[in-house]
Amino acid sequence: MKSRILLAATAGVAVIATAAFAQTETPAGANANGYASATVQVWPAEFANQGVGVDAEFFYAVDNEEIGKYNKATGELVASWIDSEGGPAIHFDSAVVVDGLLYASHSNYRVWPMTSSIEVFDTATMEHVDTHSLGIYMGSLTWIDYHDGAFWGTFANYDNTGIAALGGADVAPYGNKLNTQVVRFDENWRVAEAWVIPPAILERFEDMSNSGGSWGPDGNLWLSGHDPAEVYVMQLPEMGSELVWVATVPLEIQGQGIAWDRSAATPTLYGIMRPDRTVIVSEITLPATATP
């Protein structure tokens, strides 16, 4: 077979979290606020299990241990990277293409303690060309994107207890989702800044966490969960550490990794429908106040 290469909150923290959920039960971001989406293309893609990346000519469907390169115009699979039998890949989650290189977030999900890395591939050949190990850190790195001269991502934590942790006993949350953090890396892959996700969005994730993220043409950060058929438009706060929830946009996806097509003439967002193994291409209508 192929290789399948925090503690619970204190009582005091739990009280604070409950209050936060109550205060943000119906935030402005729960509405579309002028955003809309329409599915324009559905591509069958056997690798579409965790997320997707995209560049000017191709999209890249991401599975746990493999990545498929597909022609954007025809949906044809043209190349792939598949882990060798007993190889080191464990759990890819999402991808972004920067200057001909595909950067994939990678973790050891569902094993404890959590470890993460960034794996780099040459998009021309689909060869693995570099790795950046983050070791045991802030959670599982579930997505990666490039914006404003820096890489960004999320270290996800979960309330789900069905993990191969603590000797296989399902006795504790896999990190506790309140510990999930969106981060900006510096040039040495160190965390330069970090923000938390509003509790009302964490509640929509149920026992899972933030699975995808991509900076949009409106200048906002778009986040997706593990299962919900919607994405969340977020802004960095003027003060403090909690992201600002701007809007919720329904999409015909099932959570997981998302990617803006920055080569498209109109705002276009890629996602996946995991049960069908399909890549979903959506055109996004931005509000008049947003400037593509």
The pLDDT tens digits for 268-282 are 999 999 999 999 999
Over range 210-239, report the average pLDDT.
97
Q: Examine the pLDDT at 22 and tell me if it is beyond 60.
A: no
What gap in Å lies between CA 156 and CA 51, rounded to an integer? Answer: 15
pLDDT of residue 31: 83
pLDDT of residue 86: 80
Residue 57 lies in a domain: yes
* Band of pLDDT at residue 254, cut at 50, 70 and 90: very high
pLDDT of residue 9: 31
CATH classification of the domain holding 275: 2.120.10.30
**The Cα angle at residue 264 between residues 187 and 120, in degrees rounded to 5:** 35
Q: What is the mean pLDDT of the chain?
A: 88
Over range 19-38, report the average pLDDT.
66
Sequential DSSP letters for 43-73: EE-TTTTSEEEE-SSEEEEE-SSEEEEEETT
14 vs 66, more confident: 66
* Band of pLDDT at residue 7, cut at 50, 70 and 90: very low
Over range 66-92, report the average pLDDT.
95
pLDDT of residue 289: 76
Structure tokens at 121: 């591939």
Q: Examine the pLDDT at 11 and tell me if it is beyond 80.
A: no
List pLDDT tens digits, range 196-206: 999 999 999 99
Residue 259 lies in a domain: yes
Q: Examine the pLDDT at 151 and tell me if it is beyond 90.
A: yes
Over range 78-99, report the average pLDDT.
95
Q: Examine the pLDDT at 159 and tell me if it is beyond 80.
A: yes
Q: Examine the pLDDT at 160 and tell me if it is beyond 90.
A: no
Over range 155-162, report the average pLDDT.
87
30 vs 53, more confident: 53
Over range 66-70, report the average pLDDT.
98
With b meaning 16 or more CB within 10 Å and e meaning fewer, what string describes 5-39?
Answer: eeeeeeeeeeeebeebeeebeebebbebbebebee
Q: Examine the pLDDT at 103 and tell me if it is beyond 90.
A: yes
Q: What residue numbers bound the domain in which 233 lies?
A: 31-285
Q: Which long-range contacts (CB under 8 A, 24 or more apart) does 272-278 make?
A: 272/45, 272/48, 272/49, 272/50, 272/51, 272/52, 272/61, 273/42, 273/48, 274/48, 274/49, 274/50, 276/44, 277/44, 277/45, 277/46, 277/47, 277/48, 277/49, 278/42, 278/43, 278/44, 278/45, 278/48
* Band of pLDDT at residue 32, cut at 50, 70 and 90: confident
Q: Examine the pLDDT at 164 and tell me if it is beyond 60.
A: no
Residue 8 lies in a domain: no
What gap in Å lies between CA 170 and CA 174, rounded to an integer? Answer: 9
pLDDT of residue 291: 57
Q: Examine the pLDDT at 127 and tell me if it is beyond 50.
A: yes
Residue 24 lies in a domain: no
What gap in Å lies between CA 102 and CA 61, rounded to an integer? Answer: 12
**The Cα angle at residue 112 between residues 204 and 161, in degrees rounded to 5:** 40
Q: What share of the chain has pLDDT > 70, as a percent?
A: 86
Residue 21 lies in a domain: no
Residue 10 lies in a domain: no
pLDDT of residue 165: 53
Q: Examine the pLDDT at 184 and tell me if it is beyond 50.
A: yes
pLDDT of residue 170: 55
Asked whether the beta carbons of 192 and 186 are under 8 A apart, the reply is: yes
Residue 255 lies in a domain: yes
Q: Examine the pLDDT at 182 and tell me if it is beyond 90.
A: yes
Residue 26 lies in a domain: no
Indicate the number of domains in the chain. 1
Phi, psi (degrees; rounded to nearest 5) at 203: -65, -35
Side-chain-side CA neighbours of 156 within 13 Å: the count stands at 31
